[in-house]
């Protein structure tokens, strides 16, 4: 956060405590130099001092929502891990719990270490994969004030399935749900002549080295990712990782996010927007749930027997 924003936050805290700052240019809550989120905090500071102080502290919270996409050997996972530790991306961690880190490469469809998942599912698992995408979208909607860093998602599925002879899936329905939440795409690429060196560097950790024998195929796959990103309705930044300098690449992402309002949901940066209202499924009534449990023999399979008086 910039220095003037920190000063504004400090001034907002003083307003919430009823203290009038001395020699402070922004002398009213609606001053245009105050960031929008601070103006919202200060507007209610006189009525609810404690609430205003709480929201002033929370104004520094960052909620980036990023998909890391790209062809093999473009350092997507390394970028994702570095982004998840960068203070300009996720802010200052006030607890030991890290920001959510998700991977579309998780092999959750089969009982194998390198099994299938969201990206490389077989035709018989198509409905399962689409349901999983919808479930992730719903989770993102239910937790709009959380950061999400995702190592490969729907663009990887689109490219992998099409290159494998399968259908070219239309994920427009998914992006229509993700765009209001502020999701963006970071497309990791490298120069064509750097693929060979990258393959040699990662040969020791590559699970299937033969997959990368055909460098022309990798270049063609990268072109497919570029086309998929161009067709996407989500904002996208292409990052060249040919040099292998992850720190510089992450700094470029941070600068882009700070300059384009990508560290907060859209409705935080624009007063004319409202946060999307997720469709919350109501849980069963407690009485009905308890009754169904009793009919099955109690909770957790344990039946409690109460003796009657005098028995």
pLDDT band at residue 284 under the 50/70/90 scheme? low
Q: What is the mean pLDDT of residues 5-9?
A: 46
Whether the pLDDT of residue 1 is over 50: the answer is: no
Quick: pLDDT tens for 149-188: 999 999 999 999 999 999 999 999 999 999 999 999 999 9
Whether the pLDDT of residue 302 is over 90: the answer is: no
Share of the chain above pLDDT 90, in %: 52
Tell me, what's the pLDDT at 4?
A: 47
266: CB partners within 8 A, 6+ apart: 180, 182, 273
Quick: pLDDT tens for 49-97: 444 433 433 446 888 999 999 999 999 999 999 999 898 998 876 555 6
* Least trusted range by pLDDT, from 171-185, 196-210, 278-292: 278-292
Strands 101-103 and 65-70: unpaired
**Eight-state DSSP code of residue 98:** P
Per CATH, the architecture of 65-269 is what?
3-Layer(aba) Sandwich (3.40)
Measured CA to CA, the distance from residue 191 to residue 84 in angstroms comes to 25
Encode burial over 290-304: b for 16+ CB neighbours within 10 A, e otherwise: eeeeeeeeeeeeeee
Whether the pLDDT of residue 109 is over 70: the answer is: yes
Measured CA to CA, the distance from residue 60 to residue 29 in angstroms comes to 18
Quick: pLDDT tens for 206-250: 766 677 889 999 999 999 999 999 999 999 999 999 999 999 999
Tell me, what's the pLDDT at 98?
A: 67
Residues of the chain with CATH 3.40.50.300: 65-269
pTM: 0.72
């Amino acid at each position: 956060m910039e220095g003037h924003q920190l000063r504004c936050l400090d001034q907002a805290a003083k307003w919430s405590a009823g203290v009038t700052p001395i020699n402070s240019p922004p002398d009213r809550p609606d001053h245009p130099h105050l960031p929008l989120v601070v103006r919202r905090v200060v507007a209610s500071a006189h009525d609810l001092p404690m609430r205003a102080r709480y929201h002033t502290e929370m104004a520094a919270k960052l909620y980036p929502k990023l998909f890391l996409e790209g062809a093999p050997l473009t350092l997507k996972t390394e970028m994702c891990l570095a982004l998840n530790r960068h203070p300009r991306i996720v802010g200052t961690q006030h607890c030991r719990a890290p920001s959510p880190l998700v991977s579309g490469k998780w092999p959750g469809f089969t009982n194998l270490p390198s099994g299938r998942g969201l990206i490389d599912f077989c035709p018989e698992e198509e409905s399962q994969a689409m349901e999983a995408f919808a479930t992730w979208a719903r989770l993102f909607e239910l937790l709009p004030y959380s950061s999400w860093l995702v190592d490969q998602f729907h663009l990887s599925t689109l490219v992998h399935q099409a290159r494998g002879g399968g259908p070219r899936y239309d994920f427009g329905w998914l992006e229509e749900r993700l765009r209001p939440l502020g999701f963006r795409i970071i497309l990791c690429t490298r120069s064509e002549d750097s693929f060979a060196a990258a393959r040699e560097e990662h040969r020791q950790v590559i699970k299937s080295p033969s997959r990368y024998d055909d460098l022309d195929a990798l270049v063609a796959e990268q072109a497919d990712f570029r086309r998929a990103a161009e067709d996407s309705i989500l904002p996208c930044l292409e990052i060249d990782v040919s040099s292998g300098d992850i720190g510089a690449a992450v700094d470029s992402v941070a600068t882009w996010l700070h300059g384009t309002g990508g560290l907060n949901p859209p409705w935080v940066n624009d007063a004319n927007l409202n946060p999307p209202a997720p469709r919350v499924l109501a849980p069963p009534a407690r009485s009905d749930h308890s009754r169904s449990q009793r009919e099955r023999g109690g909770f957790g399979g344990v039946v409690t027997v109460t003796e009657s008086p005098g028995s």
